[in-house]
Amino acid sequence: MVATTAPDIVRTADGVPLKQKLQRVERSRQLKAVGLVMPLLLFIILSFALPILTMLKNAIDDPEDISQVLPATMQALQSWNGQDIPDEAAFAALAADLKQAQKDKTAALVGKRLNYEISGIRSKVIASARKAEKLEAGPYKDAIIAMDPVWGERDTWATIKRADSPWTSFYLLAALDMQRDADNSLESVPAERSIYKTVFVRTFWIAFQVTLATLILGFPVAYLLAKLPTRYSNLLMIFVLLPFWTSLLVRTTAWFVLLQDNGLINEMIQLLHLSSEPVRLIFSRLGTIIAMTHIQLPFTLLPIYSVMKTISPSHVRAARSLGAGPFYAFWRVYFPQTVPGIAAGCLLTFILCLGYYITPALVGGATDQMVSNLVATAINQENNWGKASALGGILLAATLILYSVYNRLVGVDKMKFG
């Protein structure tokens, strides 16, 4: 009930201005909406955004801060131009720092940090710290170089100087098979140490092959599902969704059994006289793609099917009535309307394939390991979180670039999941 107490202000029955009352109601609705969304928002922040931000931080964080172990050396290197090995003052500072590190038992920390960029230097640093304890007076330059020739190399001093920061680009560069030389310029690592670029290319190539295979297999099935009567399409849909009833590990293990040399598939191949001897399926690229295609097939098929269900049959009938043949009507009228579903399914499958770990690890061979396997090795075996974070960060960046390219070429607004 609304009452008016002044000619220009409309009030409610309790005397509150109507506009103010409406604002209160709207504010109350907004607070309720925020309260309903807040649990999900917090869950996304804690389980998705925060881990990604932590990963990106770890990719550039230098956990071995040796500036506290070598303070005098870092101070002496401030004026070093990097053109030649440092002067006597820097060596004297290094000798003092190594003596103190030997007393504090922190020489191993210095060796560990430098070993990230100079392989094999950790033991040399520890041995030099032990020998430096016996140095009583200068000159230190010749004495320290005599301990180990590594101290006479510019690259060693450039690495020490770069370590005077809590942030480092080492992990990201290493994940791209790059490094900095003594002049602080970027260069490719030697060919025998270059592995990450190959693994990244392999990961994207396998993801592309699996995406293409799921599209080729899934499109006809989605078309059939969209055209069949409901009672038949529902039954067929159960078979499509059946893999979701079991875990990914169970499905991968099943393929591990089927792809064996004496497995069911090889027995069928020999029974049909397609090959006189077992075909190499397990621990191979072919086996990896077969298993991943089976697992990813519903992720490509379902968005295509959902879009096909929204296409009116009258469109094709209209084209046929105007003289178009069956294939022409399908290709020029029906297929273009399925592109948003194809784009959504393929993009979803491709992104999921980039992070596959269990299937390539169990079914693939040594030359079929993907980036996720390197991440697992860095965490579980090397305890190198910086390297794992850098690999994950680069994979995330590549995914975002692909998404951006897709958005520019096709448009995210045209992508439909149903």
Domain membership of residue 246 (yes or no) is yes
Domain membership of residue 337 (yes or no) is yes
Predicted confidence at residue 17, as pLDDT, reads: 84
Tell which phi-psi region holds residue 137, choosing left (phi > 0), alpha (psi between -120 and 50) or beta: beta
Predicted confidence at residue 2, as pLDDT, reads: 46
Handedness of CA 334, 340, 343, 346 (dihedral sign): negative
Domain membership of residue 1 (yes or no) is no
Do 135 and 273 lie in one domain? The reply is no
Contact of 187 with 354, CB cutoff 8 Å: no
Q: Supply the range of the domain harboring residue 225.
A: 195-413
Do 212 and 273 lie in one domain? The reply is yes
Count of domains for the chain: 3
Do 123 and 217 lie in one domain? The reply is no
Residues of the chain with pLDDT under 50: 1-4
Domain membership of residue 285 (yes or no) is yes
**pTM of the predicted model, to two decimals?**
0.81
pLDDT in tens, 376-393: 999 988 888 889 999 999
Which CATH number goes with the domain that contains 248?
1.10.3720.10
Do 77 and 135 lie in one domain? The reply is yes
Do 85 and 209 lie in one domain? The reply is no
Domain final position from 146, 165, 184: 165
Beta bridge partners of 188: 178
Domain final position from 121, 144, 165: 165
Domain membership of residue 80 (yes or no) is yes
Do 202 and 301 lie in one domain? The reply is yes
Do 377 and 299 lie in one domain? The reply is yes
Do 395 and 305 lie in one domain? The reply is yes
Do 236 and 95 lie in one domain? The reply is no
Domain final position from 145, 165, 185: 165
Main-chain phi, psi angles of 180, to 5 degrees? -105, 140
d(CA 407, CA 82): 46
Measuring CA to CA, which residue among 369, 195, 378 is closest to residue 283? 369
Predicted confidence at residue 34, as pLDDT, reads: 93
Helix ranges, 105-167 (H): 107-117, 122-132, 141-147, 154-162
Do 304 and 337 lie in one domain? The reply is yes
pLDDT in tens, 228-278: 998 888 888 888 888 888 888 888 889 999 999 888 898 999 888 888 888
**Which two tokens mark 155?**
């690259």
Domain membership of residue 173 (yes or no) is no
* E-only strand ranges, 7-133: 9-12
Domain membership of residue 183 (yes or no) is no
Domain membership of residue 181 (yes or no) is no
Measuring CA to CA, which residue among 193, 347, 365 is closest to residue 373? 365
